[in-house]
């Protein structure tokens, strides 16, 4: 009796179509990898006392940077270069472990390679990245000797100081990241 009402039937169809449940529309390999990365990115906020501003592809780190999984963080602490190195290396190691050890990402890469065989490649460190921007309560960047921003891009860790007169980011101190694969 209820299903005979065209309005109710239309509403039920609309709800099933829009709900995103696995019966109506199974999640793709990309959605699964992104969801796994998002959960992990949120865990890192608690562990490292950061604020997650967003996740996505490389454009959230830098408009010209291309990577599959990127995380944008903010922090209001003041840290010097040595402290930044410890934070960045630890975070880069954890994100690299996620990329290489979570089978969701291997499946993601296999499916991307199958769909786009001309651009096929193996999982690589340049497919994941992050940015941590440091700001004070007035939304000013900390000045030297404190780091204003850290980026993990293309397998490199980049540390930026803010220019004292403009607060623009200066040239980075760039160091290669050496991934230590867990056995």
* Rounded Cα–Cα distance for residues 156 and 162 (Å): 19
For the beta carbon of residue 48, count every other beta carbon within 10 angstroms: 14
pLDDT at res. 1: 47
Q: Which residues lie closer than 8 Å to 55 by C-beta, 6 or more apart?
A: 34, 37, 38, 41, 69, 70, 71, 72
Strands 128-134 and 51-56: unpaired
pLDDT at res. 21: 42
Q: Distance of CA 138 to CAs 17, 58, 84, 146, Å?
A: 45, 27, 21, 16
- The model's pTM is 0.80
Measured on CA atoms in the order 164, 140, 91, 27, is the torsion positive or negative? negative
* Rounded Cα–Cα distance for residues 178 and 125 (Å): 10
pLDDT at res. 123: 86
DSSP 98-142: HHHH-HHHHHHHHHHHHH-GGG-----GGGEEEEEEE--TTS-PP
Q: Do residues 95 and 87 touch, judged by C-beta distance below 8 A?
A: no
**Dihedral in degrees, nearest 10, Cα atoms 98, 99, 104, 107:** -160
Per-residue pLDDT of the chain (183 residues; tens, 9 = 90+): 445 566 555 655 555 444 444 444 345 878 888 888 889 999 999 999 999 998 887 676 776 677 888 899 999 999 999 999 999 999 999 999 999 999 998 898 888 888 888 878 888 888 889 999 999 888 899 999 999 999 999 999 999 999 999 999 999 999 999 998 876
Q: Which of 113, 128, 134 is nearest to 50 (CA)?
A: 134
Strands 69-75 and 128-134: parallel
Count of helix runs (H) and strand runs (E) in the chain: 4, 6
């Amino acid at each position: 009796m209820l299903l005979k009402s065209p309005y109710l039937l239309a509403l039920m169809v609309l709800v099933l179509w829009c709900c995103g449940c696995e019966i109506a529309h199974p999640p793709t390999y990309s959605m699964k990898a992104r969801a796994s990365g998002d959960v992990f990115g949120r865990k890192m906020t608690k562990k490292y006392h950061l604020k997650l501003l967003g996740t996505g592809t490389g454009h959230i780190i830098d408009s010209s940077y291309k990577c599959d999984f990127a995380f944008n963080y903010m922090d209001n602490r003041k840290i010097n270069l040595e402290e930044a190195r410890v934070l960045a290396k630890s975070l880069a190691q954890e994100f690299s472990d996620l990329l290489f050890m979570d089978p969701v990402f291997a499946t993601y890469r296999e499916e991307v390679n199958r769909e786009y065989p001309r651009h096929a490649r193996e999982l690589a460190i340049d497919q994941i990245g992050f940015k941590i921007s440091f700001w004070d309560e007035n939304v000013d960047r900390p000045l030297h000797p404190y780091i204003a921003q850290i980026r993990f891009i293309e397998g490199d860790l980049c540390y930026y100081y803010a220019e004292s007169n403009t607060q623009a980011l200066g040239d980075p101190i760039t160091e290669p990241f050496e991934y230590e694969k867990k056995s």
